[in-house]
Amino acid sequence: MNKPARPAAAVSSRLLKEIRTIRTSLLSDALGKGGAMDHDMHCLSANCRMAGPAVTVRVHTADILMVGITLSHCPKGSVLVIDGQGELNTALWGEVTTLAARLKGLQGVVIDGAIRDFYKIRRDKLPVFARAVVPNAGGVQYAGEFQVPVQCGGAIVHPGDWVVGDEDGVVVVPQDRLESVIEAAKRLAVVEKKIEDEVAKGKDLATLLRYHELLAKKTSEGVLPQMRFLEKGKG
């Protein structure tokens, strides 16, 4: 079995505080409008805010054996990421696993698949993201893969990558880019606040963002890339 992800405490207290307060939308922008999981990875619990290093598991379709084993190896402050291969008719997670994860101090869980016991999970403070809710339970028959790169919600997640969730969804930040992405997101937050303040004063948003200039440039260049090539060729 591979080594578990390093605990969140391995990251400086400053970075830890910052990553847990930055919105996923800003992180996605800082990643070049990327990093987000699919739109149907919904927050199904009472709290959507989470951020922590990923502990990953890829399970056999509709089988929960490795979910329980991986949960046992999750350090405090981590986010459990379950590649359930998008199976929506069998639950890989429920109220008991939610309780266990919360008591272990996990930041949250993300499941590319379904959960059950929604009546309990929707009131729980542990962030739980998944694609669907269904009554059927999974089996306990097959070994999966622990602490390997997985695909979850359309995003590739490596063990130790930072998984951040809020009301907008889930974003994955590569662990080797964590500090630079946080710094870029902080700069974007400052700019967004300035724009918001100007709009609140009655300024025109399109003018502030120079959309008219951009439209004029696009119009003069032409819509089709091929035409831009021909125009440059003539020059």
Count up the domains in the chain and report the number: 2
**Mean per-residue pLDDT, 30-54:** 97
**Mean per-residue pLDDT, 207-233:** 75
Q: Say whether both 181 and 208 belong to one domain.
A: no
In this prediction, residue 11 carries a pLDDT of 75
Q: Say whether both 106 and 212 belong to one domain.
A: no
> Of 151, 112, 150, whose CA–CA distance to 132 is shortest?
112
CATH of the domain at 168: 3.50.30.40
Q: What is the domain extent for residue 234?
A: 204-235
Q: Is residue 224 part of a domain?
A: yes
In this prediction, residue 230 carries a pLDDT of 57
Q: Is residue 69 part of a domain?
A: yes
Q: Is residue 34 part of a domain?
A: yes
Q: Is residue 197 part of a domain?
A: no
For residue 1, what pLDDT band results from cuts at 50, 70 and 90?
Answer: very low
pLDDT tens-digit profile of 63-104?
899 999 999 999 999 999 999 999 999 999 999 999 999 999
Q: Is residue 139 part of a domain?
A: yes
Q: Say whether both 86 and 37 belong to one domain.
A: yes
**Mean per-residue pLDDT, 200-229:** 81
pLDDT tens-digit profile of 7-26?
555 678 888 889 999 999 99
